[in-house]
Amino acid sequence: MRRWMLFGYAALLAGCSAEPASLLIAGADVSLTVERTKSYFWNSGWDLSLVTRRNPDCQRRYALKPAGNNVKVEVFSPEVGVYILRQGKRWYVTELKTCGFQTYQEPPPEPGDLLGTFQETDGVFKFVENKDKKAPAAQ
């Protein structure tokens, strides 16, 4: 009986899924990573987190708003070392000097150049670089 219970628990945990996607700024030592996690196979959406890294000085993980199946997080840069993220109607800012992070109450008037988007493409969650480097109007 105990063996069957362990098998059942293992089957439940097998549905866990974590998919990171990274924007490498200065190799792996300086980067932004968005990780989408589905704790159980029956979850319909994704939990999201942002990992800011500037080795060896700092590395932090911050929770973002959970998302449905269509995860899309845009990354803007108004100045060197500062990054603004847009996830739907939510805006966040992070800086890599201390790996700080905060949520904007109102959309920033000028978020900077659009560097790209964390999104699923061809079934793979990844960072897709913006070839134009022009920011769309803030919503």
DSSP collapsed to 3 states, the chain: CHHHHHHHHHHHHCCCEEEEEEEECECECEEEEEEEEECCCCCCCEEEEEEEEECCCEEEEEEEEEECCCCEEEEEEEECCEEEEEECCEEEEEECCCCEEEECCCCCCCCCEEEEEEEEECCEEEEEECCCCCCCCCC
**pLDDT tens digit sequence for 45-61:** 889 999 999 999 999 99
pLDDT in tens, 81-130: 999 999 999 999 999 999 999 999 888 888 999 999 999 999 899 999 99
